[in-house]
Structure 1
Amino acid sequence: MSRIDKILQELRLGGVVFQDLGDSGTVFGGLTGKSKADFSDGNARYVSYTNVFSNIAVDVEANDFVKVETGERQRMLKRGDVIFTGSSETADEVGMTSVVTAKVNEPLYLNSFCIGFRPNNPNLLDPDFSKYLFRSSGMRAQIIKTANGVTRFNVSKARLAKVRVPVPPLEVQREIVKVLDQFTQLEAELEAELEAELEARHRQYDFYRDKLVSEAVDEAEHVRLGDVGSFVRGRRFTKKDVVDSGIPSIHYGEIYTEYGTSTNEAVRQIRVELHDQLRYAKPGSVVFAGVGETVEDVGKAVAWLGNEPVATHDDTFAFTSPLNPKYVAYAVQTKEFHRQKGRHVSRAKVKRLSAAGLADIKIPVPNLAVQEKIVETLDNFEELVKNINFELPSEISFRRKQYEHYRDRLLTFEEAAE
């Protein structure tokens, strides 16, 4: 029998008392009578909807402020209060909870889009126990049932007050908290290790890509892109032009969010009525993003390996040359390319790179056989990275589910007979 099984066996003896929220405390609303202007120049902290949704324990130091006048009658939060999100676009996310587990040293208020619960007896529920309890699957199932709505789901104070809550003795609550705190710490440490491993593999891949390109082409001529090929700017289309079946297209934003080094299929298609108004990248072209939110994003490229021309957005440039298109797409990922690119990027709020700027950047150009060998090697590296990108997040997800399983087992109680 595992340690968890022993603890569960010990803690369930005799069952546990259950109480309705409304019978064991006060269910209350948030701020009232506030306008948008009150949140632009506030003098008091309040707990935002996002703070509740994102944190199992309320961040009482979050920089969210609201204007509250002296003498104004607003309920202030204190340690032990449980906060529920009052509405959501999906039933599964409605009524998410966060608990005030820290001592509140200054006035702290609740936003009007959430609902609070305060136990009548401060020793009824340990705040650290509450933060785990109300996010357990059993409690979540009850809370979700209180919601109503079609396109948006809402929880009412009256229905929330009828939720049944297990109230084990404080010493039992604190023993459970010890175990779950350990689980939480172990989970956080494991996730940090896995994410660090993922980052290390990405750095390793970047290092070998740059090293392979530079070493394989030491004797090769470095040529301006404009001297070895030509750039053609695409033509404008919008989100309204996107359809389920039409002309394959590449939008600049997709280059750094949806595509890798190359693709033979477009992720989106646009209206066929636009056919004669558009410009196209031919198979074997490389499509560059001419706009981005960061200097790193702008200038990213994807090799188009499809069997037909693809429509390109007016913030992209299609590069056509006799070079291996995947070699070009790899070469423009290197630190040397980014170093040169930095001289040509406009540094306004939206970063831009012109066709003239791209044309002025030099890349090493070995013979086609060497280009193909580099592509073959880097394709293998990229496949390894893709596998890691899949496997490590899957491991993190597995560990989270394992933690949630044990948490739920510890927080599932038999009700004591009356």
Structure 2
Amino acid sequence: MMKPNFIEKLLDAVEVEWRTMEDVAVKISSGGTPRTGVSEYYDGEIPWLRTQEVNFGEIWDTGVKITDLGLKNSSAKMIPANCVIVAMYGATVGKVGINKIPLSTNQACANIQLDDKIANYRYVFHYLSSKYEHIKSLGSGSQTNINAQIVKNYPIPIPPLKVQEEIVRILDTFSELTAELTAELTAELTARKKQYTYYRDKLLTFDEGKIVWKMLGEIGEFVRGNGLQKSDFAESGIGCIHYGQIYTYYGNFAYQTKSFVSPTLATKLKKAQKGDLIIATTSENIEDVCKPLVWLGEDEVCVSGETYVFKHNQSPKYLAYYLQTPMFFDYKKQNRTGTKVIRVHGDKLEKFKIPLPSLTEQERIVSILDKIDAVTSSITEGLSREIELRKKQYEHYRNMLLSFPKSEVEA
């Protein structure tokens, strides 16, 4: 591992000149978009880069290809390999990439072709990557877009090329090691989740003739949530759960809420009691829709629209685990409505058949799955934390290597 004194020695007495990106570039350009709807302009052989494909890495291919005719009849233009590309619009604004093949881009990409006698392109890539938050903050408008002039005027410290190359060597090595470790940890995480899913589905698979199967509507009642908006949240009061939070905040079970509403509003809202399932019935994808959340808190909790509260007399955790199996996934896939916004209505949920062993057997299955779930969650948290630490370690050394005394041009 690098030590600070090594970095200090590397940068000791190094002369650094602060220049703008335009000063160190042969050319900075943006691209264009061939007119959509003209079939002759698309599905060709020319790679055409969009900003959503710029994500702090090397770019070896693009999702969309255009034709020679599309290139000639638009502002799109070819750029050589090893340009540093900065996303200027949209969700990826400020992100940086390097094209490893000649390609064209849309107008939302700032394409920086570096003067290799002044600046190493990978040095510039690492430096601009380290300034992502600052570059993004220079934007304006609802999407905080930046423009080519901001990129051209952006200041960059330029040490001698030999120093740039050594910084690149160190950061590339560190980046590769971080990427390899992250890939290994991610693969381990994926394997653990698959293992958990395998045992869960195995425990919840029953032969049709050896157990009682009943529709959910036969063992409980679906109560539709109502009225609650995120704008209704209060600092304190009665606990509440908005359907969107079921996807973004909660796991499978909850004992307390993240949000609250006033006691006055609470009187008008539908509520879940301990042991009820709160099922989110609207999502943008089939995987998430109908995610169940078991409410295990002692106090009743208010729920929003786009949810159903399922009141029943079975083991709540058993039901929640079963509603995560491939059997339920196939059912909701067949009974969904909508495309962009996907819903499963209560009358369909009522007809879903579920195997019902005795309550004692349900609790036995739950106890096993709870243990597997706890181990999987612990491993997931540990691996995720390790991945994040490795990324922060890389960023720490990158910032140390790229920290130079500031100049007037940077200010």
TM-score between both structures, scaled by the size of structure 2: 0.74
Residue 96 of structure 2 corresponds to 98
Residue 168 of structure 1 corresponds to 160
Residue 56 of structure 2 corresponds to 55
Is the alpha carbon distance of 1:81 and 1:292 closer, same or farther for their aligned partners in structure 2, counting shifts above 3 Å? closer
**After superposition, where does 1:187-226 map in structure 2 within 5 Å?**
187-214=178-205, 220-226=211-217
Residue 360 of structure 1 corresponds to 351
**1:240 partner SS:** helix
Residue 242 of structure 1 corresponds to 233
**After superposition, where does 1:279-290 map in structure 2 within 5 Å?**
279-290=270-281
Residue 409 of structure 2 corresponds to none
1:372 to 339, 363, 377: 363
- For structure 1, the residue ranges without an aligned partner over 5 or more in a row are none
Q: Is the 8 A contact 2:59 2:101 kept in 1?
A: no
Structure-2 separation of matches of 1:228 and 1:97: 52
2:286 to 290, 295, 302: 295
- For structure 2, the residue ranges without an aligned partner over 5 or more in a row are 407-411
**2:217 partner SS:** helix
Structure-1 separation of matches of 2:249 and 2:81: 44
Summarize deviations over 1:64-103 as a string: whole Å, max 9, x none: 99x99979999986556555567999xxx99x46365545
Structure-1 separation of matches of 2:366 and 2:249: 21
Structure-1 separation of matches of 2:169 and 2:36: 38
- 2:355 partner amino acid: P
Residue 18 of structure 1 corresponds to 17
Summarize deviations over 1:20-43 as a string: whole Å, max 9, x none: 2379446987669x9x99788789
Residue 261 of structure 1 corresponds to 252
Summarize deviations over 1:355-407 as a string: whole Å, max 9, x none: 22222222222333322222222222222122122111111112222333444
TM-score between both structures, scaled by the size of structure 1: 0.73
**1:237 partner SS:** coil
**After superposition, where does 1:112-191 map in structure 2 within 5 Å?**
121-136=115-130, 161=153, 163-170=155-162, 173-191=164-182
With 375-384 and 218-227 compared, the bigger mean Cα shift is at: 218-227
Q: Is the 8 A contact 2:30 2:148 kept in 1?
A: no
Structure-2 separation of matches of 1:281 and 1:263: 12
- Percent identity over paired residues: 29
- 2:189 partner amino acid: L
- 1:280 partner amino acid: K
**2:362 partner SS:** helix
- 1:184 partner amino acid: S
**2:96 partner SS:** strand
RMSD of the TM alignment (CA)?
Answer: 4.6
1:396 to 387, 399, 410: 387
**After superposition, where does 1:35-54 map in structure 2 within 5 Å?**
54=55
Q: Is the 8 A contact 1:233 1:318 kept in 2?
A: yes
Summarize deviations over 1:124-147 as a string: whole Å, max 9, x none: 2122232123334xx779x67x96
Structure 1 residue 201, shift from structure 2 partner: 0.9
**2:204 partner SS:** helix
- 1:15 partner amino acid: V
Is the alpha carbon distance of 1:74 and 1:339 closer, same or farther for their aligned partners in structure 2, counting shifts above 3 Å? closer
Residue 311 of structure 1 corresponds to 302
- 1:267 partner amino acid: K
**2:374 partner SS:** helix
**1:209 partner SS:** helix
